[in-house]
């Protein structure tokens, strides 16, 4: 009797879920709620654990902070430029990889190498490529010079040049994973569909648009959603390229702003940091929901 | 159709490079296949898996290029033509319906590929799609996705998609293998009906001899890339060219015995079962169709009874014989013999005697496994 009741109540199921729930609760949900509370506590001091009052002043401060607005602008630019471009280029490369037979494994390995390479090493390589020093203008400037274009200081120079390097770097870093996912998605499309399309005399372009793309669309949307989230959380890449004083370099991101507010030279404001973090959370949540809505409408199951 | 659309395969050969790394030879999937498929007929390519029947179909469709040999459609050499220019419709074994498109979009797909002067207006395309759907009786399901259809319905959609361009030749790869038994029976009638109505020369591949026998005008029995026998189903059944064909056709399968021909008589073990005129003495295989046995007390063939299976329509007598190649000898008797049987002592282990019906008995050479013709003279 008791056993039956136990089974029917679904208690067993909850028991299986318990470890995950405990873990997620302690390390995800609780901090989230805590940060949410901090974000409304004005003038919170982490040393004395005291605050002056409760209100929305933290949000108002953050939203009027030019550094935060700069960080938002940078982050959005990064997201809007890199997510579609990296997904698009990865798709092109994957389709290419999928249609060659010989050397396919070699190229797959080559394209995957950046994924297993240390970020700092990659950052160093990008420094050498782009940085202008007293001794050299950097490799990219050398190439620009051949085409008659003047040297550009990509690391400490104009805003657009720095943005370009950041986007270039981000696309390059996220590419291998996307190629990996897309090549396996392409390989899993049943060859029979292509044979059927060939019998019907379908052109290559139409096969791609009407068969390949719909078939791998769930994977593309997965990459777009994770790409959005990843790009919104960008921070370490920016540090690797432009150092830690990101506000001065005009290259801060939202996560960078949160970090600076907590630990940076001008830091020690956990309330502002919490407010910024909650704002980022709201932005990512909104964008992800929009993404999911769109995907539910257009992705083919 | 007024154009004569006979399909001719001339010395068709297809070799694949061997996948075995140690043995870098070639695998001959289709070996010097020559065959003329008459216009407007339904042809079954029949054989065990790996016999080259699917490769033959792919060669006809143009999805594979032959290593040598030529293919003609109604007198035109199409060997070098890509599939889309051959005027064929192909139904794949697992249908290959595009899962993200509705039934209607799937059927429209081949029409939308037409370019230049063949391009059709939207209304004409829809009309043609509706016609094809009506032909296979799925016009009610046009807005469904393939995943919402049963196996039989998916099959019909696949056929409609293959028919919508009014192909000159319709090719079906194992059309019934993904359907359950009841649906299979129904669908094969359906394929027969569609073929009759359209008059399109139709070639289908199957490993199921019953399927091939039941609906084909002609069957081609294949083994290891070679066509062993081509003919009307009943003719092939009644007169198999060799041991393989005899074994492959017929359910229950043919009963085989080790036998000898001695002085114009066939011996199975000690029993002299039949006179065969002037055939020189030799070792043979004796094949007897299950319906070739007549139980009688004076029968020449002596077996040990194992059991009786009554199937309603007819009765199987299962028995054992030391000379038999199969573990049991299965004789099928029409129910009209029932009374006769019940009078006998039909207990396991008892002796049961059969006389053989001469035209249901085949002799095969022990070495070549080819059929040895003989004059039927009974015993």
Of the candidate ranges A152-156, A198-202, A214-218, B156-160, the one whose mean pLDDT is the lowest: A152-156
Helix axes A66-99, A254-263, angle to 10 degrees: 130
Tokens matching residue A128: 């050498």
Sheet with B218-223, side-by-side order of all strands? B88-91, B169-173, B201-206, B42-46, B218-223, B226-231
Q: Which residue of B lies nearest to A218 if distances are taken between CA atoms?
A: B100
Distance from CA of A299 to the nearest CA of B (A): 9
At residue B363 the predicted structure's pLDDT band, cuts being 50, 70 and 90, is very high
Residue A41: inside a domain: no
Domain B7-244 sits in CATH at 3.40.50.300
Decide if A70 contacts A227 (C-beta within 8 A). Answer: no
Task: Give the SS3 label for residue B107.
Answer: helix
Q: Are residues A6 and A93 in the same domain?
A: no
At residue B1 the predicted structure's pLDDT band, cuts being 50, 70 and 90, is very low
CATH number of the domain residue A161 falls in: 1.10.3720.10
Verify cis geometry, omega within 30 degrees of 0, for the bond prior to B291: no
The predicted structure's pLDDT at residue A51: 78
Residue A249: inside a domain: yes
Q: Are residues A17 and A117 in the same domain?
A: no
Residue B175 has pLDDT above 80, yes or no: yes
Q: Are residues A25 and A170 in the same domain?
A: no
Residue A243: inside a domain: yes
What is the C-alpha separation between A293 and B14, in angstroms, rounded?
A: 51
The predicted structure's pLDDT at residue A74: 94
ipTM score for this prediction: 0.78
Residue owning tokens 């040297």 = A151
CB atoms within 10 A of CB A102: 7
A contacts of B82 (beta carbons < 8 Å): 198, 201
Q: Do A200 and B110 touch (CB under 8 A)?
A: yes
Residue owning tokens 């009963």 = B255
Of B92, B100, B114, the CB nearest to A196: B92
Residue A183: inside a domain: yes
Distance from CA of A301 to the nearest CA of B (A): 7
Read out DSSP for A130-171? H---SS---HHHHHHHHTTPPP--TTTS-HHHHHHHHHHHHH
Question: What is the extent of the structural domain holding A108?
Answer: 66-298
Residue A55: inside a domain: no
* Most A-contacting residue of B84, B86, B93, B158 (CB-CB within 10 A), to test interface: B84
Q: Do B63 and A198 touch (CB under 8 A)?
A: yes
Task: Tell me the torsion sign for CA atoms A125, A131, A132, A134.
Answer: negative
What is the C-alpha separation between B377 and B379, in angstroms, rounded?
A: 7
**Cβ neighbours of residue A171 closer than 8 Å, sequence gap 6 or more:** A82, A85, A86, A89
Q: Are residues A134 and A14 in the same domain?
A: no
Helix axes A254-263, A270-298, angle to 10 degrees: 160
Tokens matching residue B107: 């059927």
Q: How many domains does chain A have?
A: 2
Question: pLDDT digits over A23-57, tens only?
Answer: 999 999 999 999 999 889 887 777 777 778 788 88
Read out DSSP for A234-261? --HHHHHHH-S-HHHHT---HHHHHHHH
What is the C-alpha separation between A81 and A161, in angstroms, rounded?
A: 14
Q: Are residues A25 and A102 in the same domain?
A: no
Alpha helices in A100-135 (DSSP H): 104-116, 119-130
What is the C-alpha separation between A259 and A239, in angstroms, rounded?
A: 11
Q: Are residues A146 and A244 in the same domain?
A: yes
Q: Do B99 and A201 touch (CB under 8 A)?
A: no
Of the candidate ranges A52-56, B72-76, B167-171, B260-264, the one whose mean pLDDT is the lowest: A52-56
Task: Determine the average pLDDT of the residues in B155-178.
Answer: 90
CB atoms within 10 A of CB B76: 13
The predicted structure's pLDDT at residue A267: 67
Q: Are residues A152 and A291 in the same domain?
A: yes
Of the candidate ranges A68-72, B2-6, B10-14, the one whose mean pLDDT is the lowest: B2-6
Task: Give the SS3 label for residue B262.
Answer: strand
Q: Are residues A90 and A8 in the same domain?
A: no
Question: pLDDT digits over B21-72, tens only?
Answer: 666 678 888 888 888 888 889 999 999 888 888 899 999 999 999 999 999 9
CB atoms within 10 A of CB A48: 7
What is the C-alpha separation between B3 and B218, in angstroms, rounded?
A: 20
At residue B285 the predicted structure's pLDDT band, cuts being 50, 70 and 90, is very high
CA-wise closest residue to B334 among B360, B358, B312, B315: B315
Residue A270: inside a domain: yes
Decide if B236 contacts B229 (C-beta within 8 A). Answer: yes
Higher pLDDT, A87 or B34: A87
CA-wise closest residue to B284 among B356, B361, B357, B360: B361
Higher pLDDT, B218 or A122: B218
Of the candidate ranges B203-217, B340-354, B365-379, the one whose mean pLDDT is the lowest: B340-354
Q: Is any Cβ of chain A less than 8 angstroms from the Cβ of B85?
A: yes
Higher pLDDT, B213 or A145: B213
The chain-wide mean pLDDT, for chain B, equals 87
Distance from CA of B182 to the nearest CA of A (A): 26
Q: Are residues A100 and A8 in the same domain?
A: no
Residue B116 has pLDDT above 80, yes or no: no
Distance from CA of B343 to the nearest CA of A (A): 59
CA B333 to chain centre: 25
The DSSP secondary-structure symbol of B82 reads -
B contacts of A301 (beta carbons < 8 Å): 100
Q: Is any Cβ of chain A less than 8 angstroms from the Cβ of B119?
A: no
Task: Determine the average pLDDT of the residues in B226-244.
Answer: 92
Q: Are residues A166 and A277 in the same domain?
A: yes
Q: Are residues A139 and A201 in the same domain?
A: yes
The residue extents of the domains of chain B are: 7-244, 253-372
Residue A23: inside a domain: yes
Higher pLDDT, A278 or A44: A278
Residue owning tokens 């066509």 = B227
Task: Determine the average pLDDT of the residues in B143-152.
Answer: 91
Higher pLDDT, A225 or A240: A225
Pairing relationship of beta strands B169-173 and B88-91 according to DSSP bridges = parallel
> Quick one: what percent of chain B has pLDDT higher than 90?
37
Q: Are residues A12 and A93 in the same domain?
A: no
Residue B74 has pLDDT above 50, yes or no: yes
Task: Determine the average pLDDT of the residues in A283-297.
Answer: 88
What is the C-alpha separation between B119 and B125, in angstroms, rounded?
A: 9
Residue A267: inside a domain: yes
């Amino acid at each position: 009797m008791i056993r039956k009741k136990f089974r029917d109540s679904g208690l067993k199921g909850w028991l299986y879920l318990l470890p995950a729930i405990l873990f997620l609760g302690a390390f995800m949900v609780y901090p989230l709620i805590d940060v949410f509370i901090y974000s409304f506590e004005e003038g919170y001091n982490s040393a004395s654990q005291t605050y002056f009052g409760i209100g929305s002043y933290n949000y108002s401060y953050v939203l009027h902070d030019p550094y935060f607005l700069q960080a938002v602008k940078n982050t959005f630019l990064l997201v809007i430029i890199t997510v579609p471009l990296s997904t698009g280029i990865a798709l092109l490369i994957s389709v290419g990889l999928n249609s060659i037979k010989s050397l396919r494994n070699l190229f797959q390995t080559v394209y995957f190498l950046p994924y297993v390479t240390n970020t700092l090493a990659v950052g160093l390589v990008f420094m050498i490529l782009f940085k202008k020093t007293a001794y050299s203008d950097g490799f990219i400037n050398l190439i620009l010079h051949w085409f008659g274009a003047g040297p550009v200081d990509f690391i400490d120079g104009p805003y657009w040049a720095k943005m370009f390097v950041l986007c270039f770097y981000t696309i390059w870093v996220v590419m291998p994973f996307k190629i990996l996912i897309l090549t396996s998605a392409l390989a899993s499309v049943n060859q029979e569909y292509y044979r059927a399309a060939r019998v019907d005399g379908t052109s290559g372009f139409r096969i791609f648009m009407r068969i390949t793309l719909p078939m791998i669309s769930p994977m593309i949307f997965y990459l777009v959603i994770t790409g959005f989230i990843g790009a919104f959380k960008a921070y370490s890449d920016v540090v690797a390229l432009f150092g830690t004083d990101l506000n001065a370099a005009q290259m801060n991101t939202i996560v960078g702003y949160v970090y600076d507010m907590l630990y940076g030279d001008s830091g020690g404001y956990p309330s502002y940091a919490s407010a910024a973090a909650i704002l980022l959370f709201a932005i990512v949540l909104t964008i992800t929901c929009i993404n999911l809505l769109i995907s539910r409408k257009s992705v083919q199951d | 159709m007024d154009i004569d659309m006979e399909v001719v395969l001339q010395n068709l050969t297809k070799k694949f490079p061997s996948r075995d790394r140690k043995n870098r030879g070639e695998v001959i999937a289709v070996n010097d296949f020559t065959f003329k498929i008459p216009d407007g007929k339904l042809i079954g390519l029949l054989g065990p898996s790996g016999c080259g029947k699917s490769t033959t179909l792919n060669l006809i469709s143009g999805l594979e290029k032959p290593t040598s040999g030529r293919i003609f459609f109604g007198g035109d050499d199409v060997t070098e033509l890509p599939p889309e220019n051959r005027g064929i419709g192909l139904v794949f074994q697992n249908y290959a319906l595009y899962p993200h498109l509705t039934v209607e979009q799937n059927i429209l797909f081949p029409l939308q590929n037409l370019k230049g002067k063949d391009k059709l207006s939207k209304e004409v395309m829809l009309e043609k799609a509706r016609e094809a759907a009506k032909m296979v009786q799925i016009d009610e399901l046009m807005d469904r996705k393939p995943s919402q259809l049963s196996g039989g319905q998916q099959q019909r959609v696949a056929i409609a998609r293959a028919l919508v361009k009014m192909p000159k030749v319709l090719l079906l790869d194992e059309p019934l293998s993904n359907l359950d038994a009841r649906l299979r029976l129904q669908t094969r009638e359906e394929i027969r009906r569609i073929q009759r109505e359209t008059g399109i020369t139709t070639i289908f591949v199957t490993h199921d001899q019953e399927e091939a026998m039941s609906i084909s005008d002609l069957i081609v029995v294949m083994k290891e890339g070679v066509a062993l026998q081509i003919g009307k189903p009943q003719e092939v059944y009644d007169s198999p060219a060799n041991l393989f064909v005899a074994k492959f056709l017929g359910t229950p399968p043919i009963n085989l015995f080790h036998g000898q021909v001695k002085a114009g008589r066939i011996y199975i073990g000690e029993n002299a079962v039949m006179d065969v005129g002037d055939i020189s003495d030799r070792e043979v295989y004796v094949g007897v169709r299950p319906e070739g046995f007549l139980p009688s007390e004076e029968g020449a063939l002596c077996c040990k009874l194992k059991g009786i299976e009554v199937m309603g329509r007819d009765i199987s007598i299962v028995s054992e014989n030391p000379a038999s190649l199969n573990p049991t000898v299965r004789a099928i008797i029409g129910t009209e013999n029932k009374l006769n049987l019940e009078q006998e002592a039909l207990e396991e282990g008892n002796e049961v005697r059969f006389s053989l019906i001469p035209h249901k008995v085949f002799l095969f050479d022990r070495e070549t496994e080819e059929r040895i013709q003989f004059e039927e003279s009974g015993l």
